[in-house]
Amino acid sequence: MKKRGTSPEGPIKSSGIPSNKAPHPHQLADQAAIRIERDTMGEFAIPATALYGVQTARALHNFPISGLRFPRAFIRALGLIKWAAAQVNASLGLLEAKLARAIQQAAWEVVEGRWDQEFPVDVFQTGSGTSTNMNANEVIANRATELLGSPRGSRLVHPNDHVNLGQSSNDVIPTAIHVAAIELVSRRLIPALRRLHKALQTKSRQFDPIVKIGRTHLQDATPIRLGQEFSGYARQVELGMRRARQAQAALQEVALGGTAVGTGLNAHPRFARQVIRLVAREIGFPIKEAVNHFEAQAAQDGVVEASGQLRVIATSLMKIANDVRWMGSGPRCGLGELLLPETQPGSSIMPGKVNPVIAESLLMVVTQVIGNDTAIAVAGQLGNFELLVMLPVMAHNLLQSIELLAAGSENFSRRCIEGLKANASVCRESVEKSLAMCTALAPHIGYDAAARLAKEAYHTGATVREIARRHHVLSEDQLDQLLDPWNMTGARRTRPRRAAR
């Protein structure tokens, strides 16, 4: 028989938290201030000040992996689910009203972020996220117990019997992933993309009079207006907002109600529908119960799809940031078509150097998002029979991607795009030098003749216009009309005065 005061791993440590990791805040208190709790595996020591309980403490002991924790958005989503569940269970006559009120108040404190420090379990844990679901159950149960006048750990409010009533980690955790991601997209990502879209549209209008040389294959191509280039970026971000909404739509069905394997065992038939209605009202998005609970728990295709939409947004932002970085290269020996806002000294050794650090920051953000998507895609393949057992890492990566895209887009707008200026003189000078100017002559003198002009211009250092005049291929008036860069940009309106300077 195991002696009292031992855990399955050996004698109880002062905190139940591995010593090879940075201490949890509770460890900073008197190491003797512990309480002993019991679960189905025996006794375990817990910091006396902790709101969490024995199963959370075991998870801290078992998963000393990364130091990564679930983000605020996920903890909020868990709190919302537990808050709504208590209300519904009381209305269905399954939970005493006094207990339900205490659970609801405690859960709402979790929603508001009051107890975030009480969620210390590592992301890399049990694949169902059971440790984190129990973390939430224990925090809410202990806080509700306090609210009812009893000490923490006394289990007046039970984490399983009361807080987790009608639920399983297997349906709560995937539901929390969907809820958190949907809310983050609405509150953070779409507003950030909207600001970036507005900034790019503004620059498109401002830069429309400026004609510059286009580039394909990194080589000179026919002229384009700088505003046209930026209109393309604006459209990418506009489509990105659409894709963000598509990501939300992919997450609209939630698993709540399936309990352990999708059959709904131990859940009231009306429980899930009513809980989901309450949560939907709070997040302002019409989530609904899964059409098929076996699909909703055995796979996480919705998360994979949503992450894929985020990957496309990241790819768009990479294109925009990279173009801005290249067009701003210089200031004297690069392309120099854009003047980027100066944000900080760029070199520890080269005085006066200023680098495109905001664009580079965004490039690193989108690289991380693309990496997160790869991990999610792999995780999505590991749905074994009735449960996909990669839920915590999928949650972490998906929510991190949304947060990164939102913060990166916001910062790129504010510190780069909104302060961009065009170097009109550089743009104008490069156009006349381009060998691709001969493209406008090809329909009138033939492709081969135009190519000969271009090659002669290249070898002699002259412009296409100068070589065309030298060979008298067309009249002066025809050359002026055909080789007018503005006309080559597909303009459908009168040339603005600024472009004529």
Q: Residue 331: is the preceding peptide bond cis (ω within 30°)? A: yes
Closest CA to 61 of 112, 7, 103: 7
CA distances from 116 to 51, 71, 140, 152 (A): 11, 9, 12, 17
The topology (CATH level 3) of 434-500 is Ribonucleotide Reductase Protein R1; domain 1 (1.10.40)
What tokens were used for 395?
């949650």
Exactly one of 19, 347, 444, 471 is catalytic; name it.
Answer: 347
Asked whether 58 and 122 are in contact (CB, 8 A), the reply is no
Residue-wise pLDDT for 46-93, tens only, equals 999 999 999 999 999 999 999 999 999 999 999 999 999 999 999 999
Residue-wise pLDDT for 200-247, tens only, equals 999 999 999 999 999 999 999 999 999 999 999 999 999 999 999 999
The topology (CATH level 3) of 170-253+296-424 is Fumarase C; Chain A, domain 2 (1.20.200)
- Where are the extended beta strands (E) located within 338-433? 338-339, 383-384, 387-388, 421-422
Asked whether 335 and 327 are in contact (CB, 8 A), the reply is yes
Superfamily designation of domain 6-165: Fumarase/aspartase (N-terminal domain) (1.10.275.10)
CA 1, distance to chain mean position in Å, is 51
Residues of the chain within CATH 1.10.40.30 domain(s) are: 434-500
Judged by DSSP in three states, 194 sits in helix
Name 179's Cβ contacts closer than 8 Å, sequence gap at least 6. 77, 80, 81, 254, 279, 283, 287
Per-residue confidence (pLDDT) for residue 442, from 0 to 100? 95
**What residues does 220 pair with on adjacent strands?**
215
Average pLDDT over residues 173-192: 98
What tokens were used for 408?
């990166």
Q: Is 347 a catalytic site residue?
A: yes
Residue-wise pLDDT for 381-440, tens only, equals 999 999 999 999 999 999 999 999 999 999 999 999 999 999 999 999 999 999 999 999
3-state SS string over 21-50? CCCCHHHHCCCCCEEEEEECCEEEEEECCC
Residues of the chain within CATH 1.20.200.10 domain(s) are: 170-253+296-424
Residues of the chain within CATH 1.10.275.10 domain(s) are: 6-165
Compute φ and ψ for 444, nearest 5 degrees: -105, -30
pTM: 0.91
Exactly one of 217, 459, 472, 475 is catalytic; name it.
Answer: 217
Q: Is 128 a catalytic site residue?
A: no
